Amino acid sequence: MSYIMDLRKTVGHRPLLQVGASVIVEDEAGRILLQKRKDNHCWCYAGGSVELDEKVEAAAKRELLEETGLTAEKLELFGIFSGKETHYVYPNGDEVSTVDIVYICKNYSGSLKPQETEVEELGFFGINELPEEISPPIKIVMEEWVRRKRCEK
């Protein structure tokens, strides 16, 4: 049982401050790996809550492996995102205010395998091919990723 799920037993759907660890995977062509979530049917990158006493980088690697089947060989800090833009109410009514620590991963191994309980679909998308249905709490991060990719050119 996870720390957040244990807290939910006590606080119900009330807002929780949550620390997230996330990974933006980029392939050799500069495309981003996104997953379609089963709960809101929107696209996002791999990520989830940091457990008690877990190192953030370890949580990011764990979430990437669990959700996509990929192992991060090297992570590079992309940014830390917080505030009203990362506040979210899940379809089940659980509310969170997330501090999302996001990494970029260009060096990874393994084969894509979507997590059966959380992920409908996995796919790589180019900067001009991004789906419109981006999960609300990661929109600010995706906008920053697009901005940086355009600056690289």
Per DSSP, the residues of 45-113 read -EEEEPPTT--HHHHHHHHHHHHHSEEEEEEEEEEEE-SGGGEEE-TTS-EEEEEEEEEEEEEEEE---
Between the alpha carbon of residue 121 and those of residues 45, 50, 63, 117, the distances in Å are 12, 23, 16, 11
Task: Give domain limits for the chain.
Answer: 3-152
pLDDT at 44: 98
Tokens of 42: 């929107």
Give pLDDT tens digits for 32-87.
999 999 999 999 999 999 999 999 999 999 999 999 999 999 999 999 999 999 99
The mean pLDDT of 96-113, rounded to a whole number, is: 97
The mean pLDDT of 123-148, rounded to a whole number, is: 96
Between the alpha carbon of residue 25 and those of residues 64, 76, 93, the distances in Å are 9, 11, 29
Stated pTM of the model: 0.94
Amino acid at residue number 140: I
Fold adopted by 3-152: Nucleoside Triphosphate Pyrophosphohydrolase (3.90.79)
